[in-house]
Amino acid sequence: QVQLQESGPGLVKPSQTLSLTCTVSGGSISSGSYYWSWIRQPAGKGLEWIGRIYTSGSTNYNPSLKSRVTISVDTSKNQFSLKLSSVTAADTAVYYCAREDYDYVWGSYYFDYWGQGTLVTVSS
């Protein structure tokens, strides 16, 4: 059973860089044709996809955040990471990491495993 766990500081100062790591257990991050995503949710609001990475290092980012986001992968540690620069209070949210799978029969993308989420607050 694949499990994902987010880790990182729960408090970040405005204008600084938010850094989170997602550790994958129960399987190798390099096995299968999976992408690995970051998704966030401000309190009381909906979900927002941030970006994704393949174990080759190939990435895709949400255009609304692209200028501030970097996602990287460390296959030796079975981890992938998120960096979001120049944060403001609007970046305060629960951040989730998730595994993306693709159904080749129906051409459907979906997120089948999620971490429990970690709250990051941007405040001085």
Partner 1 sequence: SSELTQDPAVSVALGQTVRITCQGDSLRSYYASWYQQKPGQAPVLVIYGKNNRPSGIPDRFSGSSSGNTASLTITGAQAEDEADYYCNSRDSSGNHRYVFGTGTKVTVL
**d(C-alpha 91, C-alpha 72), whole Å:** 19
In angstroms, give the least distance from the CB of 12 to partner 1: 21
**d(C-alpha 40, C-alpha 42), whole Å:** 7
In angstroms, give the least distance from the CB of 7 to partner 1: 15
13 binds partner 1 (CB under 8 A): no
> Hey, which residues does 109 pair with through a beta bridge?
102
* Of 10, 31, 56, 63, the one binding partner 1 by CB under 8 A: 63
Angle at 65 between CA 62 and CA 67, to 5 degrees: 115
Q: Which residue has the tokens 């790591």?
A: 21
* Of 14, 25, 112, 121, the one binding partner 1 by CB under 8 A: 112
Residues at the interface with partner 1 (CB under 8 A): 37, 39, 46-49, 60-63, 96, 103, 105-112, 114-117
